[in-house]
């Protein structure tokens, strides 16, 4: 599917986008953890803008390196970012796309997560730091959406899934067999869920129930994003993740306001 080999320029583009998305995330983080920035400033002596710039730069460099490595490993297996590569290098665009499908699947994944929460309970039943639903909180959720769509997808789909698929393909004659991709999708989805535990731990003590819910709910989305990365490319996974976050972090708070 993705015939264009990954290039360092493409990874640099993803790194830059990740840095911007990380900077945009801070209003949402501070809504959930109002003292986080003040504590960091006290510990380092840096001004607020310096802390934001440092975190954004770190995320950008990390995503540049992880994106480059993941795309390079995934390219022989058909994984990549063909639409970005076509735009960046003037290469032919893919003949098939599924933008409406990706957006719809992202929304469905978010609704499935909300349904699971309604059935089995929220990951954190009584979060002391979570502000009440409001338009202001929903707008901060909107600013946070690019972080999930860009930074998390570079780390989890481009790198983790690409690395897992590359390793597993050693057992399939280096061919992108369906079982290889499905196993890589599941692994990346579980790592995606695990990656949300540190943030959950800052809001409530980690318990077995909390861990299972955080991993399970996030893995639901991770399965969808991973399938889209395999079948359509990284851009479609990003779009689905963005639409899912719009439902979870914008529409849901507005609905509860």
Q: Say whether pLDDT at 2 is over 50.
A: no
What average pLDDT does the segment 102-124 reach?
Answer: 93
Q: What are 224's two structure tokens? A: 């969808």
**CA-to-CA distance for 257 and 139, rounded, in angstroms?**
12
The token pair at 106 is 């992202």
Residue 3: inside a domain:
no
Structural domain containing residue 49: 8-256
- Average pLDDT in the 4-10 region? 70
141-194 pLDDT, tens digit each = 999 999 999 999 999 999 999 999 999 999 877 777 899 999 999 999 999 999
Selection from 219, 220, 228, 4 nearest residue 100 by Cα: 228
Instruction: Establish if 1 belongs to a structural domain.
Output: no
Residue 219: inside a domain, yes or no? yes
SS3 45: coil
Residue 2 within a domain: no
Burial call 117-134: b when 16+ CB within 10 Å, e when fewer: eeeeeebbeeeeebeeee
Report yes or no on 17 lying in a domain.
yes
Considering only residues 174 and 95, tell me which one the structure prediction assigns the higher pLDDT.
95
> Percent of the chain at pLDDT above 90?
65
For the beta carbon of residue 41, count every other beta carbon within 10 angstroms: 14
End-to-end CA separation in angstroms for the chain: 44
210: which 2 tokens? 């909390």
The pTM is what?
A: 0.91
Q: What secondary structure letter does DSSP report for 157?
A: I
The answer to whether residue 200 sits within a structural domain is yes
Is 143 inside a domain boundary? yes
Q: Between 177 and 12, whose confidence is greater?
A: 12
pLDDT at 127: 56
Confidence category of residue 130, pLDDT binned at 50, 70, 90: low
Number of domains composing the chain: 1
Residue 119 lies in a domain: yes
Q: What is the pLDDT of residues 196-232, one digit of tens each?
A: 888 888 778 888 988 999 999 999 999 999 999 999 9
């Amino acid at each position: 599917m993705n015939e264009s080999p990954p290039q360092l320029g493409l990874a640099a583009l993803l790194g830059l986008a990740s840095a911007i998305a990380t900077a945009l995330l801070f209003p949402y983080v501070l809504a959930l953890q109002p003292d986080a920035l003040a504590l960091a400033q006290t510990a380092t002596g840096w001004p607020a803008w310096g802390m934001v710039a440092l975190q954004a730069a770190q995320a950008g460099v990390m995503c540049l390196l992880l994106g480059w490595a993941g795309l390079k490993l995934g390219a022989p297996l058909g994984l990549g970012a063909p639409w970005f590569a076509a735009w960046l290098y003037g290469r032919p665009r893919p003949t098939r796309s599924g933008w409406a499908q990706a957006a719809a699947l992202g929304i469905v994944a978010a609704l499935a997560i909300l349904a699971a929460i309604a059935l089995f309970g929220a990951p954190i039943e009584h979060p002391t730091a979570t502000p009440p639903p409001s338009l202001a909180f929903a707008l901060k959720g909107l600013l946070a959406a690019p972080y999930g769509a860009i930074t998390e997808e570079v780390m989890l789909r481009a790198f983790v899934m690409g690395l897992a698929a590359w390793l597993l393909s050693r057992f399939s004659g280096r061919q992108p067999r369906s079982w290889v991709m499905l196993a890589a999708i599941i692994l990346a989805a579980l790592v995606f869920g695990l990656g949300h535990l540190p943030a959950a731990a800052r809001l409530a003590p980690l318990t077995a129930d909390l861990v299972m819910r955080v991993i399970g709910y996030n893995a639901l989305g991770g399965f969808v994003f991973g399938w889209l990365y395999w079948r359509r490319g990284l851009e479609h996974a990003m779009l689905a993740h963005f639409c899912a976050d719009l439902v979870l972090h914008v529409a849901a708070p507005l609905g509860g306001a």
